[in-house]
Amino acid sequence: MSRYLIAVDLDGTLLRDDKTISERNLRALQAAREAGHEVMIATGRPKRHSLMYYEQLGLTTPLVNFNGALVHHPKDANYAVTHRPIPLKTAHDIIEEVADTKAHNIVVEVTDHVYFQKDPQEFYSPYAERALSVTSGNLLTHLQDEPTSLLIHATKDHVAHVRSQLDDIHAEAVLNRQWRMPEHMIEVMSKNTSKALGLKEVSKHLNIDRKHIIAFGDEENDLEMLDYVGTGVAMGNAIDQLKNVANEVTASNMDDGIALFLEEKLGFKA
């Protein structure tokens, strides 16, 4: 059998709704590694919110964070880190356009340094967990480095307008995605960022051909990844747009969709 690279998204894909990995998914991925395949994580999460799952899976591969804006290797200091940040002027322009009237709050991350436009009350506190530093206040003053990610928690009345503005005014510099949960959260990333680009780097590093990559996802930020790989697998709970791009559709994140697919594809019982 060919040696595969198996790339898994975290939220809504590998993780159950309570943010845990099921025993069956864990066994399936361990069995895949024991059979000689490579397993990696490709997530929109920052490094600090991914490492616990990386360690739980016992991985030794590079890690794709921030939807490909950061590609690094937690266990290899010699691995060439890739960072694709948003241009600082573009970030400032976007912040100025939405800061007061169109957003409940803005969260900016420079790798694991976090900045809030307004103080992070309970709703936003998870973004600050395990951060190297947390700064609140006027982002136009405090933000002096190119950000890895910019999150706009838009008001219900302005979410469509904000996304339209981003597409119309800043399309050459950034792309944006809307999350299903939490509602009305818009993620802004550098234009040259995607999980697909991250997988391209990692597969080259591991010497695995694109056609031998299996990737699992559920959301808008998985579109390029599932379209790029040899076998793109949408979860049963995935958005319809992703299911249309995917080669296969498996069971949901609550029904061990990853394990079910790998057991059949790789021919083992986890």
Quick check: is 112 catalytic?
Answer: no
- Provide φ and ψ at 79, rounded to 5°: -70, 135
**Cβ-based neighbours of 259, under 8 Å, separated by 6 or more:** 22, 24, 25, 27, 28, 29, 270
Q: How far apart are CA 65 and CA 83, in angstroms?
A: 10
Q: Give the CA angle between residues 184, 185, 189 to the nearest 5°.
A: 140
Number of helices and strands in the chain (H, E): 10, 14
Mapping DSSP to helix (H, G, I), strand (E, B) and coil, where does residue 39 land? strand
H helices of the chain, where?
A: 23-34, 51-56, 88-98, 125-128, 139-142, 159-169, 195-206, 223-228, 240-245, 257-266
List of long-range contacts for 51-56, beta carbons under 8 Å, 24+ apart: 53/10, 53/14, 53/15, 53/21, 56/21, 56/26
Q: Which residues are known to be catalytic?
A: 9
